[in-house]
């Protein structure tokens, strides 16, 4: 009889030992470099140590071992840093490059030792060796000082230890096996939960083909296509066919995460989908304290967290499928564990993870259990929602800056403290290098050689060729800070010093990535502080490293035009697949008007122009009663329109209610703002908002809740130092500086704002583009296909054009009879 083939459950050596052996308290007072391997700098030193070891040393040796269970096989695999062939036998070498001063190491870290013991057991099994040596090699990144710990074990000792380790893990492997069987059957049987809209089926097919071929796909999908279901469903079907093991649904804003949660919920309810998802929420929103402070001295759930958390994970996985923020908090309270760390642990076992971009791309936040440097790529599917937001977010993730004044602040905090003398001296050395850069900045004609002076709106800045001297001093400072922080877990203003520590770490990391996609600049800020910044211009190389960790990535948005711009900045590959999903909505339900006689260009921003724009708003809102959003190019512009509205109100000539967005609105204020659109009112409502702000995307006001979007201006970012650095860079790399730095990001904001109107198949509404630049060919070339039909209007005929549109749809409900309004609002 043919032997039945058993399913294989795979786990890495590192994940196995870290999961089983962790215990005790959650404590963040130990800094990042104390026990963890360093990042890119550590990787280079890692390889350097291997090369020094001679001919008897084999580097990066892949090892694995299979444990047979009744229903499945457990495959534990990994890569030993080195195998030393000695005359007396073999030795496993595990290398860890750290920033920590090695004199503080008393013994090998238990997890590091456990990794090496696994490899020793695997090799002993493969070669039938009676004993093995294990060596843990620690190397300080700055000094390259090396310290080793050596251990010797018999085969029997290693076998007993390893089988005990596996015994603790088997129940989890069995859960994974049984869950996987049920999940795969569910995915094979899955059907699309609704009737396909126009274009949805073709879009879903394109997604499936891209995953099948292991390719990335860019999707321009207008509002209403149903892009969430159109990307999630084929991704799940591909996973059902073995093309993908874990799905990451990535968003820029929390409101769009709820859309993804709803999509999975719908398929569970309508199609019996068996698929566990977990939503990662920021630590600040989950923490039981007012401000996160993860240590057993201050947090009630930190003490003994690791002793309880595995039971909490096991509990929630057996009870819930769609694990939301509320459920995480509920189960965390039940088991007395840290909600955030608990949530991260759930991701190990969930089929899908809904989270912010940061958890995949940001080197400071990304989930190290999947995306640590040197980790093995997985069968991951990345679904990047509102992908236009990833360009500025990625630039921020891969940039770093330091303020000279922070060095002086930290020096004042540490001066006079026991054991801080070397740290203070190194702070002074760094401050001296920053002072040299500041003096060069202040010197006439750009100062030293290699420094290029620039000025934007009267603000001077310098482009620097390098900051190598500063980098060297920062490396020394980081090592001293590392040692001091780990020796002194409590002192006044430690939180400020810790923040500074991470800023230095970030700067060192980004500096190791510098290439032609970066620019380095220095400048004096308005408050007089001196900044040195490593600015990422084109993040595609950094993002590509992240994308290559998975099988396929889907970039989708309602505003992903021009597609070549996003291909260049998100993947760097113009040959990537791209599709344009046509809008399923009847174009008769949407009126687009473009004004020919107003502009938001800076030289025309005066009282006369504000009154003209206010006149347009009055005419459009007056054509039919309802709710409208008015998107202004800035808060300054918004306040100018407010003044005109106030003047009209005083004269009794404003026939609608109005509200305004304010800066730094709290969550309850945002909710109250949006609640106004759901309340029936006797008059129209005009809501003044800022283009590119919190209300210009991700807001879903359907049907009568919103019937008009009035967009003032082309959305161009304000001219500032960094936008000008972008412009100059792209002028040098293809001659499209203005388009890449200003025009394309601006039009994206315009389309996002306009997209608030038509949300469902029954929606009807008006989109008004108030700027004569929209009539120029270079802007019209950026219009989406569904904007092909538009009406050119001026202040005298706009009301008639809008009223005709509503009358054509059978909505004859003008807010105020024409002629009852004073529409010529200009100051005599």
Numbers of helices and strands, H then E, in the chain? 29, 26
Res. 409: pLDDT tops 50: yes
Estimate to the nearest angstrom the gap between the alpha carbon of 561 and the chain centroid. Answer: 20
Res. 305: pLDDT tops 80: yes
Q: Specify whether the CB–CB gap between 426 and 476 falls below 8 A.
A: yes
> What does the pLDDT read at residue 68?
92
- Say if residue 225 is in the same domain as residue 361: yes
Q: How many domains does the chain have?
A: 5
**Looking at residue 679, which CATH number applies to its domain?**
3.40.50.300
Res. 446: pLDDT tops 50: no
> What does the pLDDT read at residue 511?
96
CA-nearest of 631, 809, 613, 619 to 710 is 631
The 10s digit of each residue's pLDDT in 733-756 is 999 999 999 999 999 999 999 999
> What does the pLDDT read at residue 144?
83
- Say if residue 134 is in the same domain as residue 87: yes
- Say if residue 736 is in the same domain as residue 674: yes
Res. 824: pLDDT tops 90: no
> What does the pLDDT read at residue 777?
95
Decide if 285 is inside a domain.
Answer: no
Which of 95-104, 486-495, 616-625 has the lowest average pLDDT? 95-104
Rg, Å, the chain Cα set: 30
> What does the pLDDT read at residue 452?
60
- Say if residue 618 is in the same domain as residue 690: yes
In angstroms, what CA-CA distances link 408 with 193, 242, 403, 482, 794? 60, 56, 10, 18, 58
- Say if residue 301 is in the same domain as residue 199: no
> What does the pLDDT read at residue 34?
40
The token pair at 554 is 């889907």
Q: Which domain holds residue 673?
A: 587-808
The 10s digit of each residue's pLDDT in 574-603 is 999 999 988 878 888 999 999 999 999 989
> What does the pLDDT read at residue 41?
54
> How many other β-carbons are positioned within 10 Å of the β-carbon of residue 602?
10
Res. 816: pLDDT tops 80: no
> What does the pLDDT read at residue 762?
80
> What does the pLDDT read at residue 378?
84
Please state, for a pLDDT cut of 70, what percent of the chain lies above it: 93
C-alpha dihedral, 526 to 532 to 538 to 543, nearest 10°: -110
Q: Specify whether the CB–CB gap between 556 and 221 falls below 8 A.
A: yes
Q: Beta strands 530-536 and 400-403: pairing type? A: antiparallel
pTM of the entire structure?
Answer: 0.88
pLDDT level of residue 486 (50, 70, 90 thresholds): confident
Estimate to the nearest angstrom the gap between the alpha carbon of 775 and the chain centroid. Answer: 35
Report which of residues 144 and 341 the model is more confident about.
341
- Say if residue 725 is in the same domain as residue 770: yes
Sequence-ordered list of residues with C-beta below 8 angstroms from that of 682, at least 6 positions apart, any chain: none
Res. 672: pLDDT tops 90: yes
The 10s digit of each residue's pLDDT in 348-379 is 999 999 999 999 999 888 888 788 766 678 89
Find the farthest-apart pair of alpha carbons in the chain and give their distance in angstroms, rounded.
102
- Say if residue 742 is in the same domain as residue 766: yes
Among 580, 604, 632, residue at a domain's last position: 580
Beta bridge partners of 73: 8, 68
pLDDT level of residue 453 (50, 70, 90 thresholds): low
Which H or E run includes 356? strand 352-356
- Say if residue 325 is in the same domain as residue 246: no
Count Cα atoms within 13 angstroms, Cβ side, for 805. Answer: 25
Decide if 176 is inside a domain.
Answer: no
Res. 141: pLDDT tops 90: no
Decide if 180 is inside a domain.
Answer: no
Angle at which helix 110-127 crosses helix 155-189, to 10 degrees, equals 90
- What long-range pairs does 58-64 form, CB within 8 A, spacing at least 24? 58/82, 58/83, 58/85, 61/119, 63/119, 63/122, 63/123, 63/126, 64/122
Res. 39: pLDDT tops 70: no
In angstroms, what CA-CA distances link 436 with 451, 532, 692? 12, 12, 39
Decide if 182 is inside a domain.
Answer: no
- Say if residue 497 is in the same domain as residue 636: no
> What does the pLDDT read at residue 457?
54
Decide if 69 is inside a domain.
Answer: yes
- Say if residue 563 is in the same domain as residue 642: no
The 10s digit of each residue's pLDDT in 790-807 is 999 999 999 999 999 999
Which H or E run includes 95? strand 89-98
pLDDT level of residue 619 (50, 70, 90 thresholds): very high
Which H or E run includes 79? strand 72-86
CA-nearest of 605, 791, 590 to 709 is 590
> What does the pLDDT read at residue 33?
44
> What does the pLDDT read at residue 66?
95
> What does the pLDDT read at residue 143?
79
Decide if 708 is inside a domain.
Answer: yes
The 10s digit of each residue's pLDDT in 621-659 is 999 999 999 999 999 999 999 999 999 999 999 999 999
In angstroms, what CA-CA distances link 548 with 130, 514, 543, 551? 41, 20, 9, 7
> What does the pLDDT read at residue 49?
83
Scan for tokens 């970039």, then name that residue.
Answer: 555
Whole-number Å distance between alpha carbons of 290 and 300: 13
| Mean pLDDT for the chain overall | 90
Helices (H), 222-363: 227-240, 254-271, 283-286, 305-319, 325-335, 339-346, 358-361
Among 334, 349, 364, residue at a domain's last position: 349
**Looking at residue 67, which CATH number applies to its domain?**
3.90.320
The 10s digit of each residue's pLDDT in 493-516 is 998 999 999 999 999 999 999 999
Query: What are the two backbone dihedrals, phi and then psi, of residue 86, each rounded to the nearest 5 degrees?
Result: -100, 160
> What does the pLDDT read at residue 802?
97
- Say if residue 162 is in the same domain as residue 306: no
Decide if 813 is inside a domain.
Answer: no
- Say if residue 246 is in the same domain as residue 336: no
Among 526, 560, 580, residue at a domain's last position: 580
> How many other β-carbons are positioned within 10 Å of the β-carbon of residue 657?
15
> What does the pLDDT read at residue 812?
52
The token pair at 794 is 């001026």
Res. 707: pLDDT tops 90: yes
pLDDT level of residue 5 (50, 70, 90 thresholds): low
Decide if 826 is inside a domain.
Answer: no
> What does the pLDDT read at residue 27?
85
Phi-psi region of 659 (alpha: psi -120 to 50; beta: other; left: phi over 0): beta
The 10s digit of each residue's pLDDT in 249-280 is 999 987 789 999 999 999 999 999 999 999 99
């Amino acid at each position: 009889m043919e032997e039945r083939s058993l399913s294989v459950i795979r786990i890495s050596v590192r994940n196995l030992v870290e999961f089983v052996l962790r215990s005790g308290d959650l404590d963040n007072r130990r800094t990042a470099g104390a026990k963890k391997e360093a990042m890119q700098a550590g990787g280079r030193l890692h390889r350097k140590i291997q090369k020094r070891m001679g001919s008897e040393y084999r580097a990066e040796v892949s090892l694995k071992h299979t444990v047979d269970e009744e229903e499945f096989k457990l495959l534990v695999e990994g890569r030993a840093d080195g195998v030393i062939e000695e005359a007396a036998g073999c030795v496993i070498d595990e290398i860890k490059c750290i920033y920590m001063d090695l004199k503080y190491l008393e013994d090998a870290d238990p997890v590091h030792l456990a990794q090496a013991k696994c490899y020793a057991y695997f090799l002993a099994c493969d070669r039938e060796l009676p004993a093995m040596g294990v060596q843990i090699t620690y190397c300080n990144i700055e000094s390259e000082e090396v310290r080793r710990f050596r251990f010797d074990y018999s085969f029997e000792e290693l076998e007993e230890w390893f089988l005990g380790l596996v015994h603790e893990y088997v129940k989890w492997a069995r859960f994974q096996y049984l869950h996987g069987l049920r999940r795969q059957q569910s995915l094979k049987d899955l059907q699309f939960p609704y009737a396909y809209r126009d274009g949805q089926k073709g879009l879903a097919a394109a997604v499936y083909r891209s995953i099948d071929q292991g390719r990335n796909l860019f999707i321009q999908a207008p509002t209403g296509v149903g892009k969430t279901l159109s990307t999630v469903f084929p991704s799940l079907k591909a996973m059902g066919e073995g093309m993908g093991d874990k799905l990451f649904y990535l968003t820029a804003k929390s409101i769009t995460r709820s859309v993804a949660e709803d999509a999975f919920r719908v398929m569970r309810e309508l199609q019996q989908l068996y698929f566990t998802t977990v939503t990662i929420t920021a630590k600040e929103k989950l923490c039981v304290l007012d401000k996160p402070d993860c240590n057993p001295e201050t947090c009630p759930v930190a003490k003994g967290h690791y002793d309880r958390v595995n039971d909490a994970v096991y509990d929630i996985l057996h009870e819930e499928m769609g694990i939301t923020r509320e459920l995480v908090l509920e189960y965390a309270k039940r088991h007395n564990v840290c909600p955030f760390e608990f949530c991260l642990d759930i991701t190990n076992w969930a089929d899908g993870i809904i989270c912010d971009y940061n958890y995949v791309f940001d080197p400071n936040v990304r989930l190290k259990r999947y995306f640590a440097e040197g980790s093995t790529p997985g069968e991951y599917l990345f679904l990047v929602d509102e992908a236009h937001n990833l360009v500025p977010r990625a630039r921020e993730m891969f940039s770093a800056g330091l303020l000279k004044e922070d060095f002086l602040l930290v020096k004042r905090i540490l001066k006079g403290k026991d054991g801080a003398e070397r740290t203070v001296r190194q702070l002074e050395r760094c401050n001296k290098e920053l002072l040299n850069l500041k003096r060069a900045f202040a010197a006439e004609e750009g100062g030293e050689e290699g420094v290029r002076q620039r000025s934007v709106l009267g603000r001077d800045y310098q482009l620097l060729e390098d900051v190598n001297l500063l980098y060297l001093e920062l490396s020394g400072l980081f090592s001293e800070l590392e040692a001091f922080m780990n020796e002194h877990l409590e002192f006044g203003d430690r939180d400020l010093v810790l923040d500074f520590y991470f800023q230095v770490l970030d700067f060192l990391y980004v500096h190791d990535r510098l290439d032609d996609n970066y620019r380095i600049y220095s400048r004096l800020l308005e408050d007089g502080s001196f900044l040195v910044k490593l600015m990422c211009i084109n993040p595609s190389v950094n993002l590509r490293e992240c994308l290559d960790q998975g099988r396929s990535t889907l970039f989708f948005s309602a505003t992903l035009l021009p597609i070549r711009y996003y291909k260049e900045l998100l993947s760097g590959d113009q040959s990537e697949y791209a599709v344009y999903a046509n809008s399923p909505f009847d174009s008769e339900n949407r009126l687009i008007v473009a004004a020919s006689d107003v502009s938001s260009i800076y030289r025309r921003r005066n009282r006369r122009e504000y009154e003209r724009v206010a006149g347009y708003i009055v005419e459009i809102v007056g054509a039919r009663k309802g709710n409208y959003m008015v998107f202004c190019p800035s808060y300054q512009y918004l306040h100018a329109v407010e003044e005109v509205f106030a003047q009209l109100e005083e004269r009794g000539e404003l026939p609608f209610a109005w509200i305004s967005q304010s800066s730094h609105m709290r969550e309850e204020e945002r909710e109250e703002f949006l609640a106004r659109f759901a309340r029936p009112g006797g008059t129209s409502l005009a809501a003044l908002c800022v283009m590119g702000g919190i209300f210009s995307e991700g807001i879903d006001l359907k049907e009568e809740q919103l019937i008009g979007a009035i967009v003032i201006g082309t959305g161009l970012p304000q001219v500032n130092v960094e936008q000008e650095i972008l412009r100059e860079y792209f002028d040098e790399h293809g001659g499209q500086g203005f388009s890449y730095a200003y025009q394309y990001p601006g039009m994206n904001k315009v389309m996002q704002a306009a997209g608030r109107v038509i949300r469902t198949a029954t929606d009807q509404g008006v989109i008004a583009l108030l700027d004569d630049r929209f009539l120029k060919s270079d802007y019209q070339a950026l219009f989406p296909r569904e904007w092909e039909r538009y009406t050119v209007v001026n202040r005298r005929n706009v009301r008639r054009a809008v009223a005709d549109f509503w009358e054509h749809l059978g909505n004859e409900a003008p807010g105020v009879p024409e002629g009852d309004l004073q529409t010529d609002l200009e100051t005599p």
